[in-house]
Amino acid sequence: MPFRIWLSLLLLAPLLHAQQYNWQKLEGCTLIDGKWKDGDSFHVKSGGKDYIFRLYFVDTPEDESRFPDRIAEQAAYFGISSEKSLKLGHTAADFSTKILSEKPFTVYTLWQDALGASSQQRFYAYVVTDKGPLCELLVSNGLARIYGKRITLPDGTDSRTYLAKLEALKEKAMALKVGGWGSATTVEHKEGRPASSGLDKIPAF
């Protein structure tokens, strides 16, 4: 096979793989205020409709005490107490609310069922804000564990490659001791680095 053809096929492979998934892109989405939400699940308005979306790749700590086993598991991930994990869950919910309330955002979804306790169906989604993908922002600021359903991204990036990126962001967050990893810090995100987001400071956990 000529080198140019081989190289073209190699470069096109991620795109062709992504096209196996029928991603739907919802632009100009807004957060619906006043409805239940946490750091990784929320009500979104798009095209006049109300959807519940749950993030791929990450899991933010619970902010209610209904699931003690899950809370203990989340606390163990960060090496903190269950009580502090619940507080971290509230911080994560506030963080996502702040980010999603600032400007309209884009949701990519395959309409895969994310289950959940609500009577309204919840779907998995990859959410991109003007500051970057929400899952990356959460991991960068020590507000979510890398956990849950994974998928090839809309741009063709495979899940293994993306998990490696999230792990690198996690390592930076641990080194800086942000969010669940330790000390008080500002929480804005730019290219995987914590900075200022409008939330003043994440409390120490």
Domain 18-195 class in CATH: mainly beta
Q: Where are the domains of the chain?
A: 18-195
Amino acid at 199: L
Beta strands 122-129 and 49-55 are: parallel
Query: Is the Cβ–Cβ distance between 47 and 185 less than 8 Å?
Result: no
Contact 86, 65 (CB under 8 A): yes
Compute the distance between CA of residue 115 and CA of residue 96 in angstroms, rounded to an integer.
20
What are phi and psi for residue 94, nearest 5 degrees? -65, -40
pLDDT tens for each residue of the chain, 205 residues long: 564 544 444 444 444 454 578 999 999 999 998 777 899 999 999 999 999 999 999 999 999 988 999 999 999 999 999 999 999 999 999 999 999 999 999 999 999 999 877 789 999 999 999 999 999 999 999 999 999 999 999 999 999 999 999 999 999 999 999 999 984 334 444 444 444 444 545 655 5
